[in-house]
Amino acid sequence: MKEQTKCDTSECIDSLRTKESYANDLLQNNFQLTGIKEECIFNRLQSYHVTQNFCFDIMHDLYEGVCAYDVCNILLGLIEEGVVTLNAINNRKKYFQFGKTEFGNDSPALDYLKLKKFNLKMTASEAKCFTHFLPLMIGDIVPIGNKHWKLLTLLLEILDFLSKSIYLPQELPKLQNLVKEHHLLYIKLYGSLKPKHHFLIHYSTVIQKCGPLKYLWGMRFEAKHKEAKTYLGNTTSRLNSPYTLTVKSGLQFAKFLLDHESGVENEIEYNFVKCINLTKTDYFSKIVHNESIDYNNCLILDEVVYRYTKYKANFYLASQRDVFKLHKIHNLLHQNEKLYVLCYPILLKKFCTHFQSFEVGSKIDEIHIIEISKFLSKPLHLYSINNGNTYCRVKYV
C-alpha cells in the first residue's frame, strides 16, 4: 500500500478504507504494512469515524509540501539546463514589484543547497506568494514548451482551482484531470511521488463532501502563533514561559472584549468619507446607470476595509462566472448598508498559459457601479514584464 502511493495518479475507490477494513488493519498490528499504529481516539465520539470524516490542510499539504518539492525540482531543472541561473532568479525575485496588497509576503533569497534538500526556507504565506508570482518573475526567460515549466503551470492551475470559494459539480472532474496530468509528469521528470502529492488525488472527493478546502486549512491558527513567538522573543523572563504567555494572552483577550462590547464587529470600516452629489461630478457622464443608487446623496470613499481586506482607488478587482472580467477601482460608495465599487472595465486580450495570467489591454472609459460582493478576487495589481506586455494574476477571495 505504501509503495502504491508513490505512483498513484488518480483515486482508486476500491482501495479507500471502510470501517470494516480499518478494523481488520488494526487487528494485523503491523504499522509498516497497514500504516496504522493504534485506533484513532476520536472514534470514541458517537458521530465520528476516521474513515468517514475528512479534513485536509492545504496549507501544509501544498504551500509547505507540494510547492517545496515541485518548485525546488523545477528551478534546479532550469538551472541545470542552462535556462536561467540562481543569481538571475534571486535578482528577479528581489526587484519584483509585488504591490501593496502583498506587503509582508516577500521572502529571503534562494540557496542552492537548500533547493537540493527541497527546502524553500519560507513560511506558508511566503511560499504561496512566491509560487503564485514565479511565472511573472522569470517566465520571459523560459522557452515556451519547456518540460519543467509545464509542471509549474499544472501546479499553478491546481493551486488556483483550490483557492476558489465556490465550485459547480461539473468543475470537479477538471481537478481530477489536472492532478493526474501533474502526477504523471512529476513521475516522468523526478521519480516517485511524495505522500503529500498523494493527498491531492483525494481532494475532489473531499470537496464534494466537505466543500472548499480553503475553509478547512490551518493558516489562521498558525498565524496566531506569531503573537506568542514575538512576545516570547522580547521578554527577558525564562522562569516560566508558558505562564508568561498565558497571562499575556488573557490580557489581550480582555482588551478585545472591552473594544468590542457590542459583540458584533462592523463588516465595513473606513475613516474618511465624502458626502457628494454624483450628478455634479465631472465623471457622472461616464457612469453606467444603476437603478439601486441614489446619485444625489452618496458617501464616497477612497479607501475602505471590507471583511478585513483593504480596498482603495487604483486597485484592480476580478469577477468570473462564465467570463472573466477585470475592473479598476475609481472610488467606493457606501449606501443603504451596502458597499459598491465605482470601477472602469479593463479590456483583456487573452489568457497566456505560459504565464498563467491574463494579458491586459486598455481601460474602457465608462464607470460601472457594482456591489463589492460580486467580485471573486482580492484586490490585485497589474505587472509589466520584460516582454513588453502587462499581465494580471488572479487571487481568489
Q: What is the pLDDT of residues 70-86, one digit of tens each?
A: 999 999 999 999 999 99
Residue 374 in domain: yes
- The maximal CA–CA distance of the chain, rounded, in angstroms, is 80
Q: What is the pLDDT of residues 333-366, one digit of tens each?
A: 988 888 999 999 999 999 999 999 999 999 999 9
**Burial group, residue 203, by CB count within 10 angstroms (0-12, 13-18, 19+):** buried
Q: What pLDDT was estimated at residue 322? A: 60
Most confident region among 51-60, 100-109, 197-206, 318-327 by mean pLDDT: 197-206
Whether 209 and 65 map to the same domain: the answer is yes
Q: How far apart, in whole angstroms, are the C-alpha atoms of residue 150 and residue 156? A: 10
Mean per-residue pLDDT for 207-220?
88
Q: Which domain holds residue 158?
A: 58-215
Q: What pLDDT was estimated at residue 302? A: 83
Pairing of strands 338-352, 390-392: unpaired
Using a cut of 0.95, tell me whether the model's pTM lies above it. no
Q: What pLDDT was estimated at residue 294? A: 87
Whether 211 and 274 map to the same domain: the answer is no
Whether 274 and 379 map to the same domain: the answer is yes
Phi, psi torsion values for 185, nearest 5 degrees = -70, -40
Residue 292 in domain: yes
Whether 75 and 169 map to the same domain: the answer is yes
Whether 209 and 71 map to the same domain: the answer is yes
**Burial group, residue 254, by CB count within 10 angstroms (0-12, 13-18, 19+):** exposed
- Is 371 in contact with 340 (CB distance < 8 Å)? yes
Looking at 148, 182, 215, the residue that finishes a domain is 215
Q: How far apart, in whole angstroms, are the C-alpha atoms of residue 62 and residue 126? A: 12
DSSP 278: G
Whether 187 and 272 map to the same domain: the answer is no
- The letter for the amino acid at 247 is V
Whether 210 and 273 map to the same domain: the answer is no
For every residue of 63-89, which 3-state class applies, written as one string?
Answer: HHHHHHHHHHHHHHHHHHCCCCCHHHH
Residue 258 in domain: no
Q: What pLDDT was estimated at residue 242? A: 87
| pLDDT at residue 397 tops 60 | no
Residue 240 in domain: no
Q: What pLDDT was estimated at residue 320? A: 67
Whether 273 and 207 map to the same domain: the answer is no
- Is 334 in contact with 273 (CB distance < 8 Å)? yes
Q: What is the pLDDT of residues 184-195, one digit of tens each?
A: 999 999 999 999
Residue 221 in domain: no
What DSSP element (H or E) covers 301?
strand 298-301
Question: How many CB atoms within 10 Å of residue 65?
Answer: 22
Q: What pLDDT was estimated at residue 259? A: 78
DSSP track, 229-270: HHHHHH----S-HHHHHHHHHHHHHHHHHHHTTTS---SEE-
**Overall domain count for the chain:** 2
Q: What pLDDT was estimated at residue 200? A: 94
| pLDDT at residue 53 tops 70 | yes
Looking at 173, 200, 215, the residue that finishes a domain is 215
Q: What pLDDT was estimated at residue 292? A: 84
| pLDDT at residue 1 tops 80 | no
Q: Write down the mean pLDDT value for the chain.
A: 89
Bigger pLDDT: 4 or 67?
Answer: 67
Residue 256 in domain: no
Whether 83 and 175 map to the same domain: the answer is yes
Q: What pLDDT was estimated at residue 82? A: 95
What CATH number has the domain bearing residue 297? 2.30.30
Which grid coordinates are listed for 54?
A: 475528512
Whether 180 and 91 map to the same domain: the answer is yes
Return the axis-axis angle of helices 67-80 and 124-138, rounded to nearest 10°: 30
The band of 298, judged by pLDDT with boundaries at 50, 70 and 90, is confident
DSSP, collapsed to helix, strand or coil, labels residue 386 as coil
Residue 37 in domain: no
Residue 29 in domain: no
Q: How far apart, in whole angstroms, are the C-alpha atoms of residue 188 and residue 374? A: 42
Whether 122 and 207 map to the same domain: the answer is yes
Looking at 215, 231, 255, the residue that finishes a domain is 215
Whether 384 and 284 map to the same domain: the answer is yes
Residue with cell string 509498516: 32
The band of 321, judged by pLDDT with boundaries at 50, 70 and 90, is low
